[in-house]
Amino acid sequence: MTLFDISTIDRSFARYWEKQSDFWARTLSGQQPEGAADRRFPGEQWDRYPFNLLRQNYLLNSQFVDGVVDSAAMEPAQKHKLRFFSRQVVDAMSPANFAATNPDALQAMVDSRGETVQAGLANFMEDASRGRISITDESAFEVGTNVATSQGSVVYENEVMQLIQYAPLTAKVASRPLLIVPPCINKFYILDLQPENSFVRFACEQGLTVFLVSWRNPGADQGHLTWDDYLAEGVLKAIDVTHEISRADQLNALGWCVGGTLLSSAVAVLRARGDERVASVTLLTTMLDFTEPGDLGALLDEAGVLQREMSIGQGGIYPGSELGFVFQTLRANDLIWPYVVNNYLKGKTPAPFDLLYWNADATNLPGPMYAWYLRNMYLENRLRVPCELEMCGLPVDLGQLDMPSYVLATQEDHIVPWRSAYRTTGLVGGNCEFVLGASGHIAGVINPASKNKRSFWTGGQAGEDAEQWLATAESRAGSWWTHWAEWIQPLSGKQVAARKKLGNAKHPPIEAAPGRYVKVRTT
């Protein structure tokens, strides 16, 4: 068996030389080479000789490499890995990424009499000292000052997390509170950036009493923490405290990304105990079935996971800076190369942007927890199998999640592919409302209702086929936030007077939101 289909490669070569011949024929005849629209090559400078030749040759070569990769006779997972890494190399070789072949950078150097070169070198040295590429003006933001500003109090804390209760924004509130479990691989304030795009504030404005888990940014002293610790002292403890403070019969719970995986696992533990305190589960861009893990799957294999288990699986820290860079490589043409060009070749500083400030605020992970997650979720995909995994001393079965669930996926998600998120509908046991939002993993979730942007799909034909669901779904303009608010309202209990004081006698306020844990930055 050959690695590549020779006939397919022959056809790729034929198409490549045909396009090259056409390209050079047009060029030599004085015609403008045809170039596909590509945001890496903006402006008229790229339409001029010799940069138009560089651009078009690069695009033709890129297409040829893609065709060769497509012809590889490999297992789908291996081909996905080959495609991912070949794309990293191809993206890195763009002429826009080099000073000598970027006309805008050359023009800026001439116009500034070399000052952009000096500024770019200074930017590079500063980023090198911090070990990461600057993607926003970090001096423009401060957690608790102009991001994460919703009013509330920390009402509980332990080694793993702080629990925040937010102040009500309505005279009456639903009797059942909402507990939010954000991802532990990032800071929680993506859900509370600024008032106009804060999901926390939106939920409070809907008359919900909001509690939120603020995961600790672990240091060496927390390097022993396990997945079970994150369940027992994280999600399950947050459920206990929320229940004790609210005194409600039940609560609604929402998890995002790995926070949704943790929440689903914790609720499965509760159901195994016969505990029915969770009335509903909302999962935002969450993967429970890792059959198709997207581009992250290209970075994981048995050897790599085993290396993590041997190095930090029994204790240690997986650095947030390394994890942050991994996520940047998934969208290199958005989160790496534009900033190389802007910061180093043109000597500029990135503009302030709250979402990118959050993106740069990396979080460490305890080695045992991280290694267990990679092995049992991404590599062996055991959570989807009933009673295959034991957590907190009990076998877990996602089919026991027999409460209503709201599952949001996003169409362009590069971390949780929407078809993978759709598989959740066949795992949970209760009535499941699946919604597909436009855009990606972050922008598709943080889509404020007040701005009425983008769209979402809902109401498709339920079943195993995600494409069939989409083909039969209804497209709606605007944000999924309002749709979710309508869905959660009948599950939230009766209306009661909002409390003036946060916490209770057992769990008095410890400090004002957003609390200390979220302010600990990874160095």
Catalytic residues: 257
Distance from chain centroid for Cα 384? 21
HSE-CB at 102 with a 13 A cutoff on CA atoms is: 22
d(CA 344, CA 329): 18
Nearest residue to 487 via CA among 463, 467, 447, 458: 458
Structural element, H or E, at residue 97: none
HSE-CB at 470 with a 13 A cutoff on CA atoms is: 13
Question: Between β-strands 172-174 and 495-497, what pairing exists: parallel, antiparallel or unpaired?
Answer: antiparallel
**3-state class (DSSP) for residue 345:** helix
Residues with Cβ within 8 Å of residue 206, at least 6 apart in sequence: 485, 488, 489
d(CA 329, CA 325): 6
Burial of residue 488 (CB within 10 Å: 0-12, 13-18, 19+) is buried
End-to-end CA distance of the chain: give it in Å, rounded.
Answer: 49
464 phi/psi in degrees, rounded to 5: -75, -20
Beta bridge partners of 390: 395
**3-state class (DSSP) for residue 163:** strand
Peptide bond into 350 cis (omega under 30): no
d(CA 68, CA 466): 29
Strand order from edge to edge, sheet including 152-157: 474-477, 455-458, 432-437, 405-410, 278-284, 251-256, 178-181, 210-215, 161-166, 152-157, 511-512
Residues with Cβ within 8 Å of residue 445, at least 6 apart in sequence: 199, 256, 284, 285, 408, 410, 437
Q: 464 is written with which tokens?
A: 């195993």
Amino acid in position 486: E
Beta bridge partners of 512: 153
Residues with Cβ within 8 Å of residue 129, at least 6 apart in sequence: none
Q: 386 is written with which tokens?
A: 């009933």
